[in-house]
Amino acid sequence: MKRLIYLDNAATSYPKPKNVISAVNESLMRSGNPGRSGHELSLYSMKAVYSCREGLCEFFRFSHPENVVFTYNTTYALNMAIKGLMPHEGEIVISNLEHNSVIRPVKELERQNEGISVRIFDALGDGENVVSNFLHELSDRTKLCVITMCSNVTGKIMPFEKISEICKKKGIKLIFDAAQYAGHLPLDLSSLYFSAVCFAGHKSLYGIMGTGFCIFSPDTQPSAIIQGGNGAFSKAVFHDMPLPERLEAGTVGVPGIVALHEGIKHIISVGQNTISEKCLYLEARLTKGLSQIENVTLYGKTPEKVSTVLFNIDSLESEETAFLLSEKGICTRAGLHCAPLCHKTLGTLESGAVRVSVSHFNTGEEIDTFLSEVQKISNLTFFKGKNK
Amino acid sequence: MNTKYLVFTSVTFALRAMTLLKRHGLMSRLEKIKNISSLGGCGYALAISSDILDYALSVIGNEGIRVIDILDDK
């Protein structure tokens, strides 16, 4: 395979740390179905799964491993939390930065239940404006807020701690989407009010695809959205059991869970702060370089962000720019990033935009090569435009 | 020395109890329950020495973990 410059880490991180790859291999050699049998391979899997629950608790400073529920991705976790916590009537408040994994489940609930309505606030301004817009949408009918901690489009960090305080004071259930935040910056759940926090295992936590999880607060009792077998209470015809098994019907993805645990160990070994600082340094280099290129428009610039940058080359469709970069071995993500409300507010709903997202494995040299290629594409389109 | 088998509501709680006991220097072993009629819980039990039963139950109880049954034989 030719050498790639991978700048699509907000979609899934690449490369994976070596310890993650080794652990997946070992797990495939040693895993039986967890929670079903008493033989060595099954017990190995059960212990590996539980060990990951404990590892995640330690990493996010949470003390209830039984409230860590494994899923296949963040979308599944968000569906589980939203549908498991929202009553049959009331209002749900979301921001316009949300991913379709939030927008679609809440809109589906609205379509299916006459008593449910969805309210959306603008979260693209500065922190104080965001909080003010959020407060404006709350009412006595608000039963649930679903808020991203960090935009998957612009990398903007939401004032989630303030939102958490407000929801706690008003007794409103609160679900956080931490897919783009966890692993980028330290996250301390012990000091945060929440009902559920939903995560991706395969993005900045360095696990593999097909892995996500949801952490429920101890006083939250979500209902199950799917039922089935998992080895527990096998005589019962109803899927009534405590967390996490209540929400883990069917076989969990043991190799992915093992990989996630190793991903966390990788972050601890490199250092969360080291990773954060490296990514922010690369992001600053990207932003500065792109802002100096003629015909490039940058979107969603804000000081409160993780290492994601959004841009377009004027007169080029975002997909065309991403294609030309891909031809040079540079991986980015064009289009709407499953976040149409955010693109609508940015004015890029029709053209989409090119998202560049780094990980700590990227280098300054890679960023410079990327910038040089963007410059070349920009020059090319500029002259093409002149010849028309 | 006899063995007692502690049954929990879920295998996750059984493993949490096992970790907790280990932190207190108490050894336990996770085993599948053979007696199908006892399968009210997760189907697994923590095997511990009867000598440490009271202390183990106190450690587990202090963490709010519920033991739903104590079996003499799995």
Give φ, ψ of A372 to 5 degrees.
-65, -40
For β-strands B44-49 and A212-216, DSSP reports them as unpaired
Largest CA distance in chain A: 76
The answer to whether A104 and A76 are in contact (CB under 8 A) is: no
Q: How do beta strands B29-32 and B44-49 pair?
A: antiparallel
Residue contacts between A and B (CB atoms, under 8 Å):
57
Q: Can you tell me the distance from the alpha carbon of A351 to that of A114, in angstroms, rounded to the nearest whole number?
A: 35
Predicted pLDDT of residue A388: 41
Q: What angle do CA A207, A210, A211 make, to 5 degrees?
A: 50
Chain A hits for B41, CB-CB cut-off 8 Å, are 232-233
A330, A349 in Cβ contact below 8 A? no
- Half-sphere exposure of A149 toward its Cβ, with a 13 Å CA cutoff? 26
Q: Do B43 and A244 touch (CB under 8 A)?
A: no
Inter-chain CB proximity A233 and B16 less than 8 Å: no
Say how far apart CA A4 and CA A11 lie, in whole Å: 16
pLDDT at position B36, please? 62
Task: With beta carbons under 8 A apart, name residues in chain B contacting A234.
Answer: 39, 43
Select from A123, A148, A138 the least CA-distant residue to A170: A138
Are A241 and B16 in contact (CB < 8 Å)?
no
Cβ contact, residue pair A54, B40, below 8 Å: no
What was the pLDDT predicted at B41? 64
The reply to whether residue B10 touches residue A231, judged by beta carbons under 8 angstroms, is no
| Confidence label for A381 from pLDDT (cuts 50, 70 and 90) | confident
Find all residues with CB under 8 Å of A118, minimum gap 6, and list them: A91, A92, A93, A94, A106, A107, A109, A110
For an interface test with B, the pick among A42, A66, A240, A252 (most B C-beta atoms closer than 10 Å) comes out as A66
Determine the pLDDT at residue B37.
60
Q: Provide the pLDDT for residue A387.
A: 45
How many helices and strands in chain B, by DSSP H and E? Answer: 2, 4
Name the helix (H) or strand (E) containing A69.
strand A68-71
For A97-144, how does the pLDDT look when each residue is reduced to its tens digit (9 = 90+)?
999 999 999 999 999 999 999 999 999 988 899 999 999 999 999 999
- pLDDT-derived band at A384 (thresholds 50, 70, 90) equals low
Distance, CA of A354 to CA of A333 (rounded, Å): 6
Residue type, A353: A
Contact A53 B12 (CB under 8 A): yes
Alpha carbon distance A31, A387 (integer Å): 63
Chain A neighbours among B 2-61 (CB < 8 Å)?
Answer: 9-13, 15-16, 19, 30-32, 39-44
Nearest to A65 among B9, B12, B44 (CB): B12
The pTM assigned to this predicted structure is 0.95
Distance CA A133, CA A129 (A): 6
Q: What is the pLDDT of residues A308-349, one digit of tens each?
A: 999 999 989 999 999 999 999 999 999 999 999 999 999 999
Q: Contact A66/B31, CB-based, under 8 Å?
A: no
Average pLDDT over chain A, rounded to an integer: 95
Cα–Cα dist A193/A210, whole Å: 28
- Judged against a pLDDT cut of 60, whether residue A201 lies above it is answered with yes
Name the amino acid, one letter, at A252. V
Residue written as tokens 């080359």?
A: A313
Would you tell me which residues 220-259 of chain A have a C-beta closer than 8 angstroms to some C-beta of chain B?
231-235, 241-245
Q: Is A90's pLDDT higher than 60? A: yes
Tell if the CB–CB gap between B16 and A65 is shorter than 8 Å.
yes
pLDDT of residue A385: 55
* Tokens (6 digits) for A100: 């379709």
Cβ distance of A231 and B11 shorter than 8 Å: yes
Which of A43-57, A277-291, A311-325, A373-387 has the weakest average pLDDT? A373-387
- Token couple for B53: 């039963």
Given a cut of 60, whether residue A386 has pLDDT beyond it is no
CA distance A272 to A77: 24
Q: What pLDDT, on the 0 to 100 scale, is given for residue A50?
A: 97
Task: Work out the percent of chain A whose per-residue pLDDT is above 90.
Answer: 89
Phi first, then psi: give them for residue A346, nearest 5 degrees: -75, -15
pLDDT of residue A233: 79
By three-state DSSP, how is residue A92 classified?
strand
Is the CB of A242 less than 8 angstroms away from the CB of B42?
A: no
pLDDT in tens, A138-178: 999 999 999 999 999 999 999 999 999 999 999 999 999 99
Q: pLDDT class for A236, splitting at 50, 70, 90?
A: confident
Low pLDDT (below 70) residues in chain B:
1, 36-41, 74
- Judged by DSSP in three states, A198 sits in strand
Whether A323 contacts chain B with CB within 8 A:
no
Smallest Cβ–Cβ distance between A232 and the set B10, B15, B30 belongs to B10
Which residues on chain B are in Cβ contact (under 8 Å) with A244? 10, 12
Q: Is A297 left (phi over 0), alpha (psi -120 to 50) or beta?
A: beta
- Quickly tell me which residue has 């932003």 as its tokens: A287
Q: How many C-beta atoms lie closer than 10 Å to residue A234's C-beta?
A: 12
